[in-house]
Amino acid sequence: MDTDQAPRRNKSAIRRVIVVVVTGLAFYIVLPALVKVASSWPRLLTLSPWWLLVAVITEAASFLCAMALLRLVLRTKGWFAVITAGLAGNAVTNTLPGGDAAGASVQFRMLAAAGIDSVQAASGLAVSSIIGIAGLFSLPIFALPVVLGGVGVSAGLVHAGELGAGGFVLIMVLGIVLLTTNRTLMIGAGALQWLLNKMPRRAKSTNLPERLIAERDLVRTDLGKNWWKAVLLIAGRIGLDYFSLLAALRATGARPNPSLVLLAYAATAVIALLPLTPGGLGIVEASLSGLLVLANVPSASAVVATLAFRVGSYWLPTVAGAICWILFRRRYGTLKSGDASSPASGTMTNGK
């Protein structure tokens, strides 16, 4: 048994080292921009308090829309598990190198510990993620009238718009394939089942592909009835997050073209999808402040607005996630190592 587990431990250690090295290199590259933004903390006191309040409130409403979307695709009426699992998973993503996988795992296990079936939780998280990414990639489309209308737009923002439009098409094609065909999902689920069954001390699964297809059909049927709710919620999540950035810019006294800011916001959101640093820390600060300058925002305003925006979208939700983790444990107890550790482990619980 020990001889079988030793190679696995070595591979796991190698993966952790690779993640840490990649994260370290990414931080090294973006460190100057991160330091520049972080050094602007004292300037937050000079910003308009009312616009800062608007930025925080709209950001909180954005997170609420994200939780409501997850609740919709999970087909549950409860709020506590969805919100606490969502914010706790987000906090893990924001604090650990390669935290996207760890955050998703924590969120999945918390939902399962709250009583949601493991396949239902896994499919719900996947669907909400795909819908969210599709929404982000669609943003540049809404700025096309300005770009095509002759407004002076930097080449960098134009390329960002082209990237978003191309990504939107790819995501839509992927979503249609997964929702309408069985073969692709069967192949992917079969590979996942094989991988999970290789893990030690895990319940073996023999019907994961069939269970995922059945759950996919339920989600598809439910979304077919409530598609307008999903559209409104993802529009609310992204739109309110964008308005939070606009409010942060207004707090500095800047009055940029909203469409150009939308392009900068969309490009930053796409870049942040790359799991190079925890929660895009440093990556977002560097890209957003630079792209805002391309959107004709004065450099000083771009830097301090980026900092104010990240307070609401990164730092406060991370603190809230830690509090949610404590509240969740008080209600459901400590997560066991076997709790919903994989979609193959049977019946589990539910729950930016």
Annotate 82-147 with DSSP letters as a single string. HHHHHHHHHHHHHHSTTHHHHHHHHHHHHHHHTT--HHHHHHHHHHHHHHHHHHHHHHHHHHHHHH
Q: What is the pLDDT of residue 345?
A: 36
Residue 297 lies in a domain: yes
Cα 21 from chain centre: 22
Residue 187 lies in a domain: yes
Q: What is the mean pLDDT of residues 158-179?
A: 61
C-alpha pair distances (Å), 222 with each of 72, 73, 209, 263, 351: 9, 8, 20, 33, 17
Residue 111 lies in a domain: yes
The tokens 């439009």 sit on which residue?
165
Q: What is the pLDDT of residue 139?
A: 75
Evaluate if residue 341 carries a pLDDT over 60: no
122 vs 166: CA distance, rounded Å = 27
Looking at this protein, which amino acid is placed at residue 255? Answer: R
Q: Tell me: the pLDDT tens digits for 206-229?
A: 666 777 677 667 666 766 677 778
Evaluate if residue 27 carries a pLDDT over 60: no
Residue 141 lies in a domain: yes
CB atoms within 10 A of CB 147: 17
Residue 12 lies in a domain: no
Question: Considering only CA atoms, which of 253, 265, 326 is closest in space to residue 84?
Answer: 326
Are 131 and 151 in contact by the 8 Å Cβ rule? The answer is no
Residue 7 lies in a domain: no
Q: What is the pLDDT of residue 24?
A: 55
| Average pLDDT along the chain | 75
Q: 185 or 304, which is more confident?
A: 304
List strand residue ranges (DSSP E) for 230-303, in order: none
Looking at this protein, which amino acid is placed at residue 248? Answer: A
Are 264 and 292 in contact by the 8 Å Cβ rule? The answer is yes
Q: Which residues contact 233 (CB under 8 A, 6 or more apart)?
A: 65, 66, 68, 69, 72
Kind and range of the H or E element at 41?
none
25 vs 215: CA distance, rounded Å = 40
Task: Take residue 330 and report the two structure tokens written for it.
Answer: 């008080």
Q: What is the pLDDT of residue 127?
A: 79
Evaluate if residue 1 carries a pLDDT over 50: no
Residue 350 lies in a domain: no
Are 73 and 124 in contact by the 8 Å Cβ rule? The answer is yes
Residue 348: φ, ψ to 5°? -135, -160
Residue 285 lies in a domain: yes
CA dihedral 245, 249, 250, 251 (to 10 degrees): 100
Q: Tell me: the pLDDT tens digits for 97-144?
A: 666 777 888 888 899 888 888 777 877 787 788 788 777 777 777 766
The tokens 């489309």 sit on which residue?
141
> Which of 15-24, 87-96, 118-127, 180-189 is predicted with the least confidence, judged by mean pLDDT?
15-24
Q: What is the mean pLDDT of residues 276-302?
A: 85
Q: Tell me: the pLDDT tens digits for 223-255?
A: 667 777 888 888 889 889 999 999 999 999 988
pTM of the predicted model, to two decimals? 0.75
* % of the chain at pLDDT higher than 90: 23
Are 205 and 341 in contact by the 8 Å Cβ rule? The answer is no
Q: Which residues contact 59 (CB under 8 A, 6 or more apart)?
A: 240, 241, 244, 312, 313, 316, 317
C-alpha pair distances (Å), 151 with each of 166, 218, 309: 22, 46, 26
Structural domain harbouring 34:
30-332
Total number of domains constituting the chain: 1
